[in-house]
Amino acid sequence: MAAEQSLQATTPSGDTRIHNIGYRSYDGPRLGRSYARMSLYSQSLRGAYGLGRSAKSKVLPMLLFVVMCVPAAIMVAVAVATKAKELPLDYTRYAIVMQAVISLYVASQAPQSVSRDLRFKTVPLYFSRPIETADYVRAKYAALASALFVLTAAPLLVLYVGALLAKLDFTDQTKGFAQGLVSVALLSLLFAGIGLVIASVTPRRGFGIAAVIAVLTISYGAVSTLQAIADVQGSGDAGILIGLFSPITLIDGVQSAYLGASSAFPGGVGPDRTEGLLFVLVTLGLIAGSHALLMRRYKKVGL
């Protein structure tokens, strides 16, 4: 460092011709593939909140994070102030109510995570290093799912801490919080997978954002409309199964069948345990399918 400074001091600034300061070879450790995968994971996770990127890229993810947490903080404040016996909203319902914010987050961050590498052709540089397609896909998938988990679990933590401060029943609250965490973990994996698959086939970031929003909102809009119609016509079971066709209603179905959640389906009637199994299978199938599609996509990118 000292050598560099003294040398630069003697050369007119901007002169790029003086490079010969002596090359030092590297004899230190080379940590290989798993370390590289881990580095890509942490860089992508940080990037999902704009860390290590320009100030401008921090605005949206941070803003969405705040928007996600503020209602929880208000609920807690109200619960404490009014000495309520329970929280105004279940842990498992929170993400369902806030789905628009979550969708917006996926739509903005999935493309920034993968479309940039495709668009600027950085992917070949990764694959010219020890990591393989699977490492790249897993690191990116895990990073976005983790970022989503942070986004969806943070307000639950606010609720939980607030509930304990308001001296609500510890066992009840802990159980509800745990169920909520399982639910948002599943939601994070599902939304990350769908978002990344769409982003990986839309190198133009703007299209990626639009496509993710379209898929998430149109599927939800269509499903809830059809469910409402089915409900009016009295064919409740058909209405329930329609819920298999949009990501957020899938999560709703899984948690009302297995995680003690009250359903947002019409009439508050969600799938029973047998129908719930179908919801679980479809959810897991979509997660596995997203992973498989991403692998296929990146096998082709190669160099």
Partner 1 sequence: MDVTVIATESLSKRFPRVTALDRLSVDVGPGVTGLVGANGAGKSTLIKILLGLSPATEGRAEVLGLDVATEGAAIRERVGYMPEHDCLPPDVSATEFVVHMARMSGLPATAARERTADTLRHVGLYEERYRPIGGYSTGMKQRVKLAQALVHDPQLVFLDEPTNGLDPVGRDEMLGLIRRIHTDFGISVLVTSHLLGELERTCDHVVVVDGGKLLRSSSTRDFTQTTTTLAIEVTDTDEHPDGTRAVREALHARGVTVQDGSGLPGAGHILLLTAQGEDTFDLVRDVIADLGLGLVRMEQRRHQIAEVFTNDTDAQRKEAVGHGG
Q: Which residues bind partner 1 (CB under 8 A)?
A: 1, 4, 8, 13-14, 16-17, 19-26, 28-33, 35-36, 39-40, 43, 52-54, 57, 116-117, 120-122, 124-132, 302-303
In 3D space, the residue among 74, 116, 104 whose CA is nearest the CA of residue 212 turns out to be 104
Residue 118 CB, shortest distance to partner 1, in Å, is: 11
Identity of the residue, 33 or 167, whose beta carbon is nearer to partner 1 in the bound complex: 33
Residue 21 CB, shortest distance to partner 1, in Å, is: 7
Identity of the residue, 14 or 268, whose beta carbon is nearer to partner 1 in the bound complex: 14
Residue 188 CB, shortest distance to partner 1, in Å, is: 25
Identity of the residue, 32 or 221, whose beta carbon is nearer to partner 1 in the bound complex: 32
29: phi > 0 → left, psi -120 to 50 → alpha, else beta; which? beta
Residue 61 CB, shortest distance to partner 1, in Å, is: 15
Our CA dihedral for 157, 163, 169, 171, rounded to 10 degrees, sits at 0
Identity of the residue, 41 or 91, whose beta carbon is nearer to partner 1 in the bound complex: 41
Residue 40 CB, shortest distance to partner 1, in Å, is: 7
164: phi > 0 → left, psi -120 to 50 → alpha, else beta; which? alpha
**274-280, Cβ contacts within 8 angstroms, sequence gap of 24 or more:** 275/237, 275/240, 275/241, 278/241, 278/244, 279/243, 279/244, 279/250, 279/253, 279/254, 280/254
Identity of the residue, 4 or 171, whose beta carbon is nearer to partner 1 in the bound complex: 4
Residue 141 CB, shortest distance to partner 1, in Å, is: 17
Residue 181 CB, shortest distance to partner 1, in Å, is: 31
b/e 13-25 (16+ beta carbons within 10 angstroms → b): eeeeeeeeeeeee
Q: Tokens 């100030």 — which residue?
A: 55
Residue 202 CB, shortest distance to partner 1, in Å, is: 17
Identity of the residue, 200 or 224, whose beta carbon is nearer to partner 1 in the bound complex: 200
Identity of the residue, 111 or 239, whose beta carbon is nearer to partner 1 in the bound complex: 111
Identity of the residue, 88 or 130, whose beta carbon is nearer to partner 1 in the bound complex: 130
